[in-house]
Amino acid sequence: MIEWVTLATMLILVLALVLTFVRLVVGPSLADRVVALELIALIAVGIMIVYAIQVERAAFLDVALVLALTAFMAAVGFARFLERGGSGHNE
């Protein structure tokens, strides 16, 4: 049973990834894109954990943990860049 459940979960997460990518491309301001990037990182963490369950190898959880860490750093860095005079609208 767990095989098709992991497959279905993967499909749902990939659908979410595609939707978020639409916002990453469309997003009118840079802050919108940063929000989309943060959600993409969260979805990637979810995909890694689901993959760890699928192949029954717990080592992938470490990768997910590190990705969550770096995604937070990226979001904070982008926010500081925006606030200290980066261009908000890159049209």
Partner 1 sequence: MSETLTAIIMLLGALLVLIGAIGAVRMPDLLLRMHATTKAGALGTGLIAVAAAIFFVDTGVTVRSLAIVAFVILTAPVAAHMIGRAGYFTGAPLWDKTLKDELRQRLDRHGHYLHSGLEDTDDTPRSDRDSQ
Q: Report the chain's C-alpha Rg in angstroms.
A: 16
Site for partner 1 in 17-56 (CB under 8 A): 17, 19-20, 22-23, 29-32, 34-36, 38-39, 42-43, 45-46, 49-50, 52-53, 56
Q: Does 7 bind partner 1 (CB under 8 A)?
A: no
Q: Does 63 bind partner 1 (CB under 8 A)?
A: no
Residue 48 parent element (H or E): helix 30-55
Q: What angle do CA 8, 9, 11 make, to 5 degrees?
A: 65
What is the rounded CA–CA span in Å between residue 36 and residue 31? 9
**Pair of tokens at residue 55:** 């192949």
What's the full length of the chain, in residues? 91
Q: Does 1 bind partner 1 (CB under 8 A)?
A: yes
36, 27 in Cβ contact below 8 A?
yes
Number of residues engaging partner 1 in binding (CB under 8 A): 51
Residues lying near partner 1 in the complex (CB under 8 A)? 1-2, 5-6, 8-9, 12-13, 15-17, 19-20, 22-23, 29-32, 34-36, 38-39, 42-43, 45-46, 49-50, 52-53, 56, 58, 61-62, 64-65, 68-69, 72, 75-76, 78-80, 82-83, 86, 88-89
